[in-house]
Structure 1
Amino acid sequence: MKTLEILLLPWQQASQSAYPIRKQVFINEQGVPEELELDEFDSSALHALAYQGGQCVGTARLVNLGNGNAQIGRMAVLVNFRGQGIGKQILEKLLLTAQADGLSSVILHAQLTAIPFYEKLGFVAQGPTYDEAGIPHRNMMLLLHKSN
C-alpha cells in the first residue's frame, strides 16, 4: 500500500486539487447540482487533501462554526481509491486538528449510506433524516475530549 500524505490548506491553495474530486464524486456520481457544490464556507474552511503517489485522491473540509464547534463536510474519495482507509485517515486528521484548536464538538451531515463509517469513529446520529441536494442525510455529532 502506498503512503498517504494529508495536507491541510486554505481554499485558495486547495481548490485546484479539491474541486475536481468533489466535482467527480458529488456532481458526476451523485447528481448534486453544480451550483450547490461550492458554498460560502469553502473560503474560510481548512481543506484536507490526501495524496497517494503524487495524485490527490481525497478531500474534506473543516469549518469553524464558533463557540467551540466545527463542521466537517465535502468529504470525498475518488472511486478507485475507496475501501483503503483514506477517508478514515482524512477524518482523523481533521478531528485531531479540531481538537488541537481547542474545539469541543464536530458535526457533519452524513449521507445515510455513510453513517456506519462515521459511527466507527465515534460520531452519533441525531435527529430525523432529511434531504440535502436530493440525497437522504442525518446530522451526526462527535464530542471532542480536551487535550491536557
Structure 2
Amino acid sequence: MLKVKITENQLEKEQAFDIRRKVFVEEQKVPVHLEMDEYDDSAIHFVGYQLEQPIAAGRMREVEAGLGKVERVCVLPEYRGQHIGVMMMNEMEEYARTNGIFRLKLNAQTHAISFYENIGYEVTSEEFMDAGIPHKSMEKVVN
C-alpha cells in the first residue's frame, strides 16, 4: 500500500531528492546541476512510501494562477509496474484540486507519454530535448 505525503521537513525533502538522484542522475544520466534546480526551494514535494520506505517522488509548482506544473515524477526501478506512478499522480492532482489549481501541465519523457495519456493528459507540443532526453508537453484539466 502506497502512502503519498507532502514533505514537511528537511529529512523528507532529502528522501525525495535521493529518489530523484537515483532515477534521473544515476539511471538516466541527467547532470545533477540540471536535476536539482532553483525551483526545489519553492516547489511542493511529494514522496511515496511503501512500508515506511521512500520509493517514489514528484514535485509541483503553481506557475500562474490556477495553473500547476508537475515535475520530477519518478519511481525507483524495482517498484515500477505496480501503478505507483498513477497513485502518485492521483495524489498530486488531488492536492491541486484542493488548492485552487484547475489545470496541470508537465513535460513528459516521450517513453512516458502513453502513461500520462492513460490518466487523462493530452500532448500540447512537438517533441523537444531536455537534458538530452526527448520530451513533449502535456496538460490536463483537474477541476
| TM-score greater than 0.5 by the shorter chain | yes
Cα 1:8–1:135 change in 2 (3 A) is same
SS of the aligned residue for 1:122 comes to: coil
The residue number in structure 2 matching 1:33 is: 31
- Paired residues, number: 143
The sequence identity of aligned pairs, in percent, is 34
The residue number in structure 2 matching 1:119 is: 117
CA distance in 1, matches of 2:102, 2:66: 5
CA distance in 1, matches of 2:113, 2:107: 9
Superposition pairs for residues 88-107 of structure 1, below 5 Å?
88-107=86-105
The residue number in structure 2 matching 1:53 is: 51
Q: Is the 8 Å Cα contact of residues 10 and 46 (structure 1) preserved in structure 2?
A: no
Greater shift in the superposed pair: 65-74 or 132-141? 65-74
Which residue identity is paired with 2:90?
E
CA distance in 2, matches of 1:52, 1:39: 27
Cα 1:33–1:114 change in 2 (3 A) is same
The residue number in structure 2 matching 1:69 is: 67
CA distance in 1, matches of 2:98, 2:30: 33
Q: Which ranges in structure 1 are unaligned for 5 or more consecutive residues?
A: none
Deviations 1:101-142 (CA, angstroms, capped at 9, x unpaired) = 111210000000000000111100011100000000000000
CA distance in 2, matches of 1:28, 1:57: 15
Q: Is the 8 Å Cα contact of residues 55 and 79 (structure 2) preserved in structure 1?
A: yes
SS of the aligned residue for 1:128 comes to: coil
Cα 1:112–1:59 change in 2 (3 A) is same
Moved over 4 A (4+): none
Q: Which ranges in structure 2 are unaligned for 5 or more consecutive residues?
A: none
| TM superposition score normalised by structure 2 | 0.95
| TM superposition score normalised by structure 1 | 0.92
